[in-house]
Homo-oligomer: A and B are copies of this chain.
């Protein structure tokens, strides 16, 4: 992991950009750190530059609770090389949605499964590098979408001990089987009128998740309309489980 830039935000949060091989990422750590901080891996739909304002806002909230927060670019997003197959699947998904048609499972599979297969090992490599830093101790949480990435990480990565999953993207049917294998405490966010999501599928996925402790917080509004208080409740969930 190579740090490529560093700045202090006005609230004292330390922001560092890094590259992990070809993968760009951000690390935010609290302004004043006494002990090594717990870490929240912040998932997102891809496109670090476009997502930066929302990511840094989430990182500030996390830092205020004493958490470090980090994220990496997704395969095929931002400055990373595109996948022709994924681009085609995205076009097919958008066309089906804008035509008001049901989204075929095979489109979702083409879009999401290769992304999960490539992204999850990258997040795990990032976790290796981040946990080697003296200012980061763990425990580790995952927060956000892509929810299929979060589910796969929750199943395969034993260092992740709690997760806030954002049910804001289509989920391949096969992921429901993995969802049943999740056992860590979960806090699931759903935007009730999310235009790019299937509410019924999101509720079925919540039902399928195997964790004994899981909570669903559904709020009104579209994909990007998660209210401020919902972010604060998600932080309190991490405060209960990562401290």
> Which A residues have a C-beta under 8 Å from some C-beta of B?
192, 203, 206-207, 212-220, 227, 229-230, 233, 236, 240
Contact = CB atoms under 8 A, between A and B. Distances in A.
A239 to B, nearest CB: 10
A164 B219 CA distance: 14
B220 A217 contact: no
| Copies, count | 2
A217 B207 CA distance: 14
A234 to B, nearest CB: 11
Nearest to A236: B229
A217 B219 contact: no
A217 B214 contact: no
B214 A220 contact: yes
Contacts of A219: 214-216
A220 B213 contact: yes
A215 to B, nearest CB: 5
A189 to B, nearest CB: 11
Given A192-B207, A192-B216, 7 more contacts: A213-B220, A214-B219, A215-B227, A215-B230, A216-B216, A217-B217, A229-B236
Contact of A233 (B203, B216, B220, B233): B233
